[in-house]
Structure 1
Amino acid sequence: MAANSPNPVPFSEPPYLRGLPNPYITPAHLRFQKACRKFAWENLIQHAMEWEKAGTVPEHVFHTFCKANMLLPNMPAPLPVDWLKRLGINDILGVKVEDWDYTYTGIYCDEMGRSGLSGPSGSLNAGFAFGIPPIVKFGSKELQERFLPDLLTGKKRACIAITEPEAGSDVANITTTAVKTADGKHYIVNGTKKWITNGIWSDYATMAVRTGGKGASGLSVLVVPLKNHPGVSMRRLKVSGQITGGTTYIELDDVKVPVSNIVGKEGDGMRIIMTNFNHERLIIAVGVTRQARVALSAAFSYCLKREAFGKTLMDQPVVRHRLAKAGAELETMWAWVEQILYQLSHMTKEEGDRQLGGLTALAKAKSAMVLNECAQVAVLLFGGNGFTQTGQAILRDVPGARIPGGSEDVLLDLSVRQLVKIYQAQEKKLVQSSKI
């Protein structure tokens, strides 16, 4: 992996960085990519394996990224320009915040994944990617005034807390309750949240809770204080991959939360969570595709040098066959991701959620399948070296790609159900128009 210049090894870079024409990338995008690669390398990528082995990314890294506005790219595009300018934030490595689009987002997520490990970058970005956006999109003016100045500048940290021991992808069955006090001024929150990325470092959680009856209609979203708050206990969970991500178990015992901390209205929870998932799934797909690149290009480079049976591995047809199949999956995946990023840059948020929600779910699921294929091929071709802990680092991250943001099988089903809904709505319009 080269520090700043494009890597010439096949499959190691997106086509636009290999000098091939690209309809989506402008000179401004290329300028940002170079600046982003330099910043990410100096402050994260070159240390990623060391920190992953240690289990934690040093706290100063989060503050370094915040000072440079380099966690804001995790947020959905367009960025909350008015808020950012109020806070004195005008650009991200030279890109004006008002010019930011999803292609910039894709470049950023791709560059942040160049270590091949999702944990180090994941230790930094969960709040900006998943915890803050619901407050920006659905929060009242008063709620935003209280929380956004500290969250957008990194003075305070947030996470998203949806998953529970018994309810993950099945969001409608969340059991954590939020019951109003007799005076109607507070909610009393009870329950547990599990597998919460960055939870252990977070001051607040944008949390899914049950304020009403059973099912989706009873869900709401609250901003719940975490660190040192009465009734909240947290502990890190040991996981096989994404070790530095700060995966956390949260217990909530009569936690008192102001009613004014509600995001949107009571009963809006399912809608807020589902639209937030679209962005989450997209940036996961981008990062996962880069991880697949790192795995496959490392295997390709190894096969050019490693000798067996009097030849290099690359001289063996079976090896070339494995690389070709995985490479085809990888480049197809990247082309699809680029297409979705471009489409979102030219659609309203509402239209993007409606038209591309199902396809984004499918892309996220497919990206994890591609990562699994590329990581498995790499481990096999590395032979004994692939069986070491270091050799299997990316492979251990595969479950972290296939499960979070909606597990693979759930997303495959969801994507088709969403496409059926779009079809049925279009068919209904055609029938109505034919009667006029």
Structure 2
Amino acid sequence: MSDSKVTVPLSEPPWLSGLPSPYYDDSHRRLQRVCHEFIGEHLIKHALEWETAEEVPSHVFGEFAKANMLLPSLPAPLPVEWLRRVGITEMPGGIPVEKWDAFHMMIYTDEMSRAGLAGPPGALNTGMAFGVPPILHYGDKQLQERFLPDLLLGRKRTCIAITEPDAGSDVANITTSAHTSDCGKYYIINGTKKWITNGVMSDYATMAVRTGGEGSGARGISMLVVPLKNHPGVSTRRLKVAGQISAGTSFIELDDVKVPKENLIGKEGQGMSYIMNNFNHERLFISIGVTRQARVALSAAFEYCMKREAFGKTLMDQPVVRHRLAKCAAMLESQSAWVEQFVYLLSKLSKSDGDKELGGLTALCKANAGIVLDECARCAVLLFGGNGYTRTGQGEIAEKIYRDVPGARIPGGSEDVLMDLAVRQLVKRFQQKTKELDARTKNSRL
């Protein structure tokens, strides 16, 4: 952001308000300026209009793909070899693909969420952020050769399809089946997927299916690349949800859908592991965007309270109003700092170590982001008063962000499940480390 502009309190994280930070170098600041300009012009200034219309125009995806403004949603480090193969050597801001780190990803994600709405950015980058990584990390060479060039260049779109009508956060309970055809060359898929972001827009789905048969639990789950558009046996339709409407939440039905066995991602029966590791990036990605949404809501309320008058003085002159803002500000800035810390750790750890050490805490960070958004959005609606309960006018942004709150607290693992998961993972990791230490101590005595 320009140093010549005085920003509304709480509207920017400290490093964008001119305060020092140990995390960011010139490449990060350059990327922020480039993203702010491009995303501001091509997304942010239209986001409220598009969310109201419940649709992001189809040409916008192409504009972002052409500018390489979808690739930053991938987890860092980037797939350098693949990007070079498709002709991409630099990311936005002129940053070499091999120099891209987790802070670059965070800056991009934050800028995509600057409008305070989850729907418009979700309509563009959900497939790249969550659907492509399993192919990159676990797909064999032939699978990658067939799908990655089109997906990385934005010529085709994918989505991540895990959730089902009776299996949300309980991934091990999915029932969509994939059995081998009589000829042995195909999987035959039957079942349904629900609440799939981008489903109606996507050419493919990175899909969780049950290859192990009934009763096989987590060990019977695999991942496949499943064709969607105009593919026999596949039907998709949009679901009307409360918030994030323009992101294209979908219901997918699969009736004897034939998929080549070569579309298997990794190994049969290993899908649960792939899904859980993929969740780590998904949950951090969501945490970053949701934290920006909370910032937009609270700073909008802050600005409104400085000019709105009641009982002969501005709302900001009322102690009860200042107390509401202060409580939310403390939660927001704590969450913002926590996200930065996570990103720093990820920038220093290998993927395997990051998945192992931070999986549970990432789940907790995502859950807490939703709680902070709930508090900040509710505070904004209350302080905007009647305007915050109206879908147009001064409080429109607060009203729309408040409708996005359940979309922050449920998808990607619902809040209660993630909190329980976080503690279970912390206990598990503690027990592993204790066992390893005991083994080392025993060996040293020998």
**TM-score range with shorter-chain normalisation?**
over 0.9
Helix, strand or coil for the counterpart of 2:369? helix
Paired position in structure 2 for 1:270: 272
Deviation at 1:426, TM superposition (A): 1.2
Distance in 1, matches of 2:279 and 2:269, equals 17
Q: Does 1:12 align with 2:6?
A: no
Paired position in structure 2 for 1:21: 20
Is the 1:191–1:252 Cα contact (8 Å) retained in structure 2?
yes
Deviation at 1:333, TM superposition (A): 0.2
Large movers: runs of 4+ above 4 Å: 2-7
Paired position in structure 2 for 1:113: 113
Deviation at 1:434, TM superposition (A): 2.7
Deviation at 1:5, TM superposition (A): 7.8
CA separation of 1:216 and 1:398: change in aligned 2, threshold 3 A? same
Aligned 1:187-206 pairs, distance under 5 A = 187-206=187-206
Paired position in structure 2 for 1:396: 403
Distance in 2, matches of 1:190 and 1:7, equals 57
CA separation of 1:69 and 1:425: change in aligned 2, threshold 3 A? same
Helix, strand or coil for the counterpart of 1:42? helix
Q: Does 1:47 align with 2:54?
A: no
TM-score, normalization by structure 2: 0.96
Aligned 1:351-390 pairs, distance under 5 A = 351-389=353-391, 390=396
Q: 404, 425, 431: which one pairs with 2:432?
A: 425
Structure 2: runs of 5 or more not aligned = none
Is the 1:4–1:38 Cα contact (8 Å) retained in structure 2?
no
Deviations 1:30-89 (A, max 9, x none): 011011100110000000000011110001100000001100011110011111011111
CA separation of 1:415 and 1:165: change in aligned 2, threshold 3 A? same
Deviations 1:175-209 (A, max 9, x none): 00000012210000000000000000100000000
Number of residues of Structure 1 aligned to a counterpart in Structure 2 = 435
Q: Does 1:244 align with 2:246?
A: yes
Distance in 2, matches of 1:300 and 1:52, equals 23
CA separation of 1:397 and 1:6: change in aligned 2, threshold 3 A? farther
Helix, strand or coil for the counterpart of 1:392? helix
Deviations 1:226-276 (A, max 9, x none): 000000001000011001000000000000000000000110110010000
Distance in 2, matches of 1:342 and 1:361, equals 17
Paired position in structure 1 for 2:90: 91
In structure 1, what residue type is equivalent to 2:178?
A
Deviation at 1:95, TM superposition (A): 1.2
In structure 1, what residue type is equivalent to 2:400?
A
CA separation of 1:375 and 1:320: change in aligned 2, threshold 3 A? same
Is the 1:6–1:17 Cα contact (8 Å) retained in structure 2?
no
Is the 2:3–2:18 Cα contact (8 Å) retained in structure 1?
no
Distance in 2, matches of 1:333 and 1:7, equals 23
Distance in 2, matches of 1:89 and 1:5, equals 34
CA separation of 1:39 and 1:429: change in aligned 2, threshold 3 A? same
Paired position in structure 2 for 1:179: 179
Distance in 2, matches of 1:434 and 1:248, equals 54
Helix, strand or coil for the counterpart of 1:275? helix
Is the 1:167–1:173 Cα contact (8 Å) retained in structure 2?
yes
Paired position in structure 2 for 1:321: 323
Paired position in structure 1 for 2:313: 311
Deviation at 1:91, TM superposition (A): 1.2
Distance in 1, matches of 2:46 and 2:304, equals 22
In structure 2, what residue type is equivalent to 1:310?
G
Helix, strand or coil for the counterpart of 1:136? helix
Distance in 2, matches of 1:246 and 1:184, equals 35
Helix, strand or coil for the counterpart of 1:13? coil
Distance in 2, matches of 1:100 and 1:75, equals 11
CA separation of 1:58 and 1:276: change in aligned 2, threshold 3 A? same
Using the aligned pairs only, state the percent identity: 67
Helix, strand or coil for the counterpart of 1:120? helix
Deviation at 1:4, TM superposition (A): 11
Paired position in structure 2 for 1:416: 423
Is the 1:241–1:400 Cα contact (8 Å) retained in structure 2?
yes
Distance in 2, matches of 1:146 and 1:429, equals 42
Paired position in structure 2 for 1:287: 289
Is the 2:238–2:251 Cα contact (8 Å) retained in structure 1?
yes
Paired position in structure 1 for 2:67: 68
Deviation at 1:430, TM superposition (A): 2.2
Deviations 1:355-390 (A, max 9, x none): 001110000000000000000000000001011122
Is the 1:140–1:264 Cα contact (8 Å) retained in structure 2?
yes
Distance in 2, matches of 1:434 and 1:194, equals 50
Is the 2:200–2:238 Cα contact (8 Å) retained in structure 1?
yes
Distance in 2, matches of 1:81 and 1:72, equals 11
Q: Does 1:342 align with 2:349?
A: no
Distance in 1, matches of 2:439 and 2:142, equals 43
Deviation at 1:3, TM superposition (A): 10
Structure 1: runs of 5 or more not aligned = none
Distance in 2, matches of 1:53 and 1:201, equals 18
Paired position in structure 2 for 1:104: 104
Helix, strand or coil for the counterpart of 2:179? strand
